C-alpha cells in the first residue's frame, strides 16, 4: 500500500497527524487521534502482557529529564551523533550518510568517517534534496541528537531529555537490584517517551523527534544464567546475518531460533530467546510475517554500547524499517555508571562453597612516607595498595617502584619495601561483586503502529462496492465493536441498541454507537478504522417469543450470525482474546446476506 494512502487515512480517520498544525506544524512531532491513541495503547498493553507480565519482569516509570552527568557516563554526550550537512544555498540540514546511501551502493554510510562521507558527496555529485544545489565542498559535522535543557533556574544544572528509556533503568539499578533481592537474572521494563533531535524527521511515525519506546533490560550473570531457550527453540525466524549482507549474492537464512543459536548464527542465547519471543509477539499483534525479518547489524553500524545487535525489520511502502533492536550491551552501561555514579552497580554473587584465597595487603608507614613525599604521600600509599593487588611480586626486592598521576603529570617514586609493610594473608570469601551483563530488546511503539496499519490495509468488494478496511487483530483494534440500531424511527430498536452498547461497555469493551446514515455506510466507517465486529439491532431480533438477538458481523469476511443479547458480551470478549469467529458460526444461526467479498 502506498504511504500516501495510509497517511491520508491516518489523518482523516483520527489515527495520527502532524502536531501543532494551527501554528504551521512542527516537524518530527505527531499527535495520535482517538483511533491512533487507542491502537497505540493496545499495542503497549500487548507488549506489557508479553514482555513484562508473562516474563515475570517488573515495570518502572522514570523521569524523562536527566542530569548531564548521566549522559557523560552513558557515552551519549560524546557519541550520540548523526552526520549533518547543511546546504550553502537554502540552509536545509540533511543526514549526510542518508544522502550518500541514496546516491551510492553504500548501505551503512553511518560507519564511515565524516571525511569519507564528504569525499563521497563530492564524487557522486550529491545535491541538496530541498533546492537541488550541489553539496560538494560542504563540511560534514557530527550533530548530537539530544535535546538540552536546564534543570531549575539558571544554567548551573544542565540536563537532557532522555534519548532512550533505558538510561532511566540503568541509573536506578542500585535500588532495583534490592527489589530483586540482589539475585540475577531479573528484568526491568519501561514504556515511555524518548526524544531525539533528528536532523531529518520523515515517514509519518517512522522518524520522530518525540516517540515512544518499550524497552526491557534483562540483567544476567553471563557465566551462569541461561534463558529458557526451549520455549522458543522451534520458532521459525527469517534471519539476514551480517555475512549474508556483505556477500554479493547474500540470502536470508530461514531457520529456527534453536538452530540459529546452536550453529552460532545468533551469538547469544539470550538474544536468540528474545528474537523468538518477539517473532511470536509481532505475529500475535498482526505484523505480516512475509514482510518481516531479523537483520544483524554490520560491525560499523552498532551503537557505542552494543557487542552484538539484531534489528526486527518490517517492510512498509517498499522499504525495510527497523521496528526494534535486540542488543547484547555486556557490562558497558553498569560499569560506566559504576565509574561515574556514587552507588554500587554490582551484585554480590555468593559462591556455592566459601573459598580460601590469598590476598596481598600493604600497611604503609605514613610516619615515613609523610616526611619523604609530602603532599604526594597519600597517593603513594594508594599506589602501593593497588600494586599489591595487581603484582605482589613487585614487593620481593628491597625497593618498590610506584607511579602516581597520569599523562604528563605522571611521576615515579621509589619506596623502601619495609615501609610498605607488605604481607600475604589468607582470607575466606563467601562470594564476589560482579557487574551484570545486559540484554536489551528495545521496541519503537510508533513504528510498530505504522507497520500494523500498513500491513492491515486491505481493499476488496462488498455488495458490488469497493471498500477499504483495516484487518487489525481484535486485541489491538481501536474499538472492540460498534453497535447500530438498523433504523432510528423505531424506539424499540433504539432502546435495545443503547442498552446493548451500555452493557458491552460495562463489561469492559470499547464500543462505538452509530445511528447515522445507511447501514452500509456505517459498516464502511467501522471497516476503515478496523473495528472487528459490528452489532446490528433489527426487528427480527426483538419479535417472536425467544430471547432478544442481534446480528454480529465480522469485518474481514463480512459474514453475519445471530447471537442472543445475553451471550453477546462474553462472546465478544472471547473473540477479542483470540477466539475464532468461525466458532460463532458453528453455534449460532448464520444470517444470509447477498454479500460477496473479493480481496484485491
Ligand atoms: N535503548 C536502545 C535504543 O534506543 P535504538 O535502536 O536507538 O535503540 C530502539 O531505538 C527503537 O526505537 C528502534 O528500533 C525504533 O523502533 C525506535 N526509534 C528510534 N529512533 C526513533 C525515531 N527517531 N522515531 C521513531 N522511532 C524511533
Owner of C-alpha cell 540484554:
439
Region of poorest pLDDT, from 94-108, 312-326, 328-342: 94-108
pLDDT for 385 beyond 70: yes
> Which grid coordinates are listed for 100?
550518500
Which one of 79, 166, 198, 211 would you pick to mutate in the ligand 1 pocket, going by the greatest count of ligand atoms within 8 A of its CB?
211
Assess whether pLDDT exceeds 90 at residue 303.
no
What pLDDT is attached to residue 597?
46
Q: How confident is the model at residue 105 (pLDDT cuts 50, 70, 90)?
A: confident
Is the confidence at residue 367, as pLDDT, over 50?
A: yes
Shared domain check, 123 and 168: no
Least confident of 72-81, 176-185, 302-311, 484-493: 302-311
User: Helix crossing, 269-285 with 34-47: angle to 10°?
Assistant: 140
Q: By alpha-carbon position, which residue is closest to atom 25 of ligand 1?
A: 207
Rounded CA-CA distance 510/286 in Å is: 19
CATH number of the domain residue 133 falls in: 3.30.40.230
Residue written as cell 483495516? 470
CA of 521: how far to CAs of 414, 466, 514, in Å?
92, 12, 10
Residues 29 and 104 in one domain: no
Does residue 243 form part of some domain?
A: no
For residues 297 and 408, membership in a common domain is answered with no
31-78 tens-digit pLDDT: 999 999 999 999 999 999 999 999 999 999 999 999 999 999 999 999
415 and 517 in a single domain? The answer is no
Number of domains in the chain: 4
Confidence (pLDDT) at 109:
87
261 in any annotated domain: no
For ligand 1, atom 20, the nearest C-alpha belongs to 207
Residues 169 and 199 in one domain: yes
176 and 289 share a domain? yes
Overall average pLDDT of the 300-323 stretch: 87
Torsion of CA 512, 517, 520, 526, to 10 degrees: -30
Cα separation, 532 vs 584, whole angstroms: 14
**Which residue has the CA at smallest separation from atom 12 of ligand 1?**
444
State whether 369 and 488 are in the same domain. Answer: no
Judge whether 202 lies within some domain. yes
Per the domain annotation, does 429 fall within a domain? no
φ, ψ of residue 436 in degrees (nearest 5):
-65, 155
The answer to whether 114 and 97 have CB atoms below 8 angstroms apart is: no
The reported pLDDT for the residue numbered 17 is 96
- Ligand 1 site, residue 96, Cβ cutoff 6 A: no
Q: Are 418 and 440 within one domain?
A: no
Same-domain status, 379 and 512: no
Q: Which of 91, 122, 144 is the last residue of a domain?
A: 144
Looking at the fold, whether 292 and 364 belong to one and the same domain comes out as no
Say which residues have a Cβ less than 8 Å from residue 64's Cβ, sequence separation at least 6. 161, 162, 168, 192, 193, 194, 195
Which contacts qualify for 220-224: CB closer than 8 Å, 24 or more apart?
220/184, 220/185, 220/270, 220/436, 220/437, 220/438, 220/439, 221/184, 221/185, 221/347, 221/349, 221/434, 221/436, 221/437, 222/330, 222/437
Residue 3: pLDDT band (50, 70, 90) is: low
Residue nearest atom 11 in ligand 1 by C-alpha distance: 444
Q: Look at residue 600 and tell me whether its pLDDT is greater than 80.
A: no
Q: Is the CB of 215 under 6 A from ligand 1?
A: yes
- CATH number for the domain spanning 441: value is 3.30.930.10
Lowest mean pLDDT among 93-97, 186-190, 339-343, 453-457: 339-343
Average pLDDT, the chain: 94
Q: Is 248 a domain residue? A: no
DSSP-derived letter for residue 92 is -
**Average pLDDT of 142-158?**
96
257: left (phi > 0), else alpha (psi -120 to 50), else beta?
A: alpha
- Is the CB of residue 196 below 6 angstroms from any atom belonging to ligand 1? yes
Give the pLDDT of residue 531.
Answer: 98
Q: Tens digit of pLDDT for each residue in 413-429?
A: 999 999 999 999 998 99
What pLDDT does residue 593 have?
Answer: 67
Q: Examine the domain organization and report whether 222 and 315 are in the same domain.
A: yes
Report how far residue 585's alpha carbon sits from residue 579's, in angstroms, rounded to the nearest whole number: 12
The answer to the question of residue 299 being in a domain is yes
**Residue 452: inside a domain:** yes
598 has pLDDT over 50: no
Cβ atoms of 177 and 189 within 8 Å: the answer is: no
Kindly give the number of the ligand 1 atom that is closest to the alpha carbon of 166. Answer: 1
Residue 111 has pLDDT above 90, yes or no: no
Residue with CA nearest ligand 1 atom 19: 444
Say if residue 382 is in the same domain as residue 518: no
**Parent domain of 89:** 81-144
Q: What percent of the chain has pLDDT over 90?
A: 88
Ligand 1 atom, smallest distance to 445 CA: 16
**Nearest in space to 137 (alpha carbons), one of 122, 149, 150, 148:** 122
Evaluate whether residue 270 is within a structural domain: no
Q: Ligand 1: which atom is nearest the Cα of residue 448? A: 16
Ligand 1, atom 9, lies closest to the CA of 442
pLDDT at residue 408, rounded to an integer: 82
pLDDT tens for each residue of 191-221: 999 999 999 998 899 999 999 999 999 999 9
Long-range own/partner contacts, residues 582-586 (CB < 8 A, 24 or more apart): 584/552, 585/559, 585/561
- Residue 442 forms beta bridges with which residues? 215, 325
Beta bridge partners of 454: none
Instruction: Using a pLDDT cut of 70, give the percent of the chain over it.
Output: 98
Amino acid at each position: 500500500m502506498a504511504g500516501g494512502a495510509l497517511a491520508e487515512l491516518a489523518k482523516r480517520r483520527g489515527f495520527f497527524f502532524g502536531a501543532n498544525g494551527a501554528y504551521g506544524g512542527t516537524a518530527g512531532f505527531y499527535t495520535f487521534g482517538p483511533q491512533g491513541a487507542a491502537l497505540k495503547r493496545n499495542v503497549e498493553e500487548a507488549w506489557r502482557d508479553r514482555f513484562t507480565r508473562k516474563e515475570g519482569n517488573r515495570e518502572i516509570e522514570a523521569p524523562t529529564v536527566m542530569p548531564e552527568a548521566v549522559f557523560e557516563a552513558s557515552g551519549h554526550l560524546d557519541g550520540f551523533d548523526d552526520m549533518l550537512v547543511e546546504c550553502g544555498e537554502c540552509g536545509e540540514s540533511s543526514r549526510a550518510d542518508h544522502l550518500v546511501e541514496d546516491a551510492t551502493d553504500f548501505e551503512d554510510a553511518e560507519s564511515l568517517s565524516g571525511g569519507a562521507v564528504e569525499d563521497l558527496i563530492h564524487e557522486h555529485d550529491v545535491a541538496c534534496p530541498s533546492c537541488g544545489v550541489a553539496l560538494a565542498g560542504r563540511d560534514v559535522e557530527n550533530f548530537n541528537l539530544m535535546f538540552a535543557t536546564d534543570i531549575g533556574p539558571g544554567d548551573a544544572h544542565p540536563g537532557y531529555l532522555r534519548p532512550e528509556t533505558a538510561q532511566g533503568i540503568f541509573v536506578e539499578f542500585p535500588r532495583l537490584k534490592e527489589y530483586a533481592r540482589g539475585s540475577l537474572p531479573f528484568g526491568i521494563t519501561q514504556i515511555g517517551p524518548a526524544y531525539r533531535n533528528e536532523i531529518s524527521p520523515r515517514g509519518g511515525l517512522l522518524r520522530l523527534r518525540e516517540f515512544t519506546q518499550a524497552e526491557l533490560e534483562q540483567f544476567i550473570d553471563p557465566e551462569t544464567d541461561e534463558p529458557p531457550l526451549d520455549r522458543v527453540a522451534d520458532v521459525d525466524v527469517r534471519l539476514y546475518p551480517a555475512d549474508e549482507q556483505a556477500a554479493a549474492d547474500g540470502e536470508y537464512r530461514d531457520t529456527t531460533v534453536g538452530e540459529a543459536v546452536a550453529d552460532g548464527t545468533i551469538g547469544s542465547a539470550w538474544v536468540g530467546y528474545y528474537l523468538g519471543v518477539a517473532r511470536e509477539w509481532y505475529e500475535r499483534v498482526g505484523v505480516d510475517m512475509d514482510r518481516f525479518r531479523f537483520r544483524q547489524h554490520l560491525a560499523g553500524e552498532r551503537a557505542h554500547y552494543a557487542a552484538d545487535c539484531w534489528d526486527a525489520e518490517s517492510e512498509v511502502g517498499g522499504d525495510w524499517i527497523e521496528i526494534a533492536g535486540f542488543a547484547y550491551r555486556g557490562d558497558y552501561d553498569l560499569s560506566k555508571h559504576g565509574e561515574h555514579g556514587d552507588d554500587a552497580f554490582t551484585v554480590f554473587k555468593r559462591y556455592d562453597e566459601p573459598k580460601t584465597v590469598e590476598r596481598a595487603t600493604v600497611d604503609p608507614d605514613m610516619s615515613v612516607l609523610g616526611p619523604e613525599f609530602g603532599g604526594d604521600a597519600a597517593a603513594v600509599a594508594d599506589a602501593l595498595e593497588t600494586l599489591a593487588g595487581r603484582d605482589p611480586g613487585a614487593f620481593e626486592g628491597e625497593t618498590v617502584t610506584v607511579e602516581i598521576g597520569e599523562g604528563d603529570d605522571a611521576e615515579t617514586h621509589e619506596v623502601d619495601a619495609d615501609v610498605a609493610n607488605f604481607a600475604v594473608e589468607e582470607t575466606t570469601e563467601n562470594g564476589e561483586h560482579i557487574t551484570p551483563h545486559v540484554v536489551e530488546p528495545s521496541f519503537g511503539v510508533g513504528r510498530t503502529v505504522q507497520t500494523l496499519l500498513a500491513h492491515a490495509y486491505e481493499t476488496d468488494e462488498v455488495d458490488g462496492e469497493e471498500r477499504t478496511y483495516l484487518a487489525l487483530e481484535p486485541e489491538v483494534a481501536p474499538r472492540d465493536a460498534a453497535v447500530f440500531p438498523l433504523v432510528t424511527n423505531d424506539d424499540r430498536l433504539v432502546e435495545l441498541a443503547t442498552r446493548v452498547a451500555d452493557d458491552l461497555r460495562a463489561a469492559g469493551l470499547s464500543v462505538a454507537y452509530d445511528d447515522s446514515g445507511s447501514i452500509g455506510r456505517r459498516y464502511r466507517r467501522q471497516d476503515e478504522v478496523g473495528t472487528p465486529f459490528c452489532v446490528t439491532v433489527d426487528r427480527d431480533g426483538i419479535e417472536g417469543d425467544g430471547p432478544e438477538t442481534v446480528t454480529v458481523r465480522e469485518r474481514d469476511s463480512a459474514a453475519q450470525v445471530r447471537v442472543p443479547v445475553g451471550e453477546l458480551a462474553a462472546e465478544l470478549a472471547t473473540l477479542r482474546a483470540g477466539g475464532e469467529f468461525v466458532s460463532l458460526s458453528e453455534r449460532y444461526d448464520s444470517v444470509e446476506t447477498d454479500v460477496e467479498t473479493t480481496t484485491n
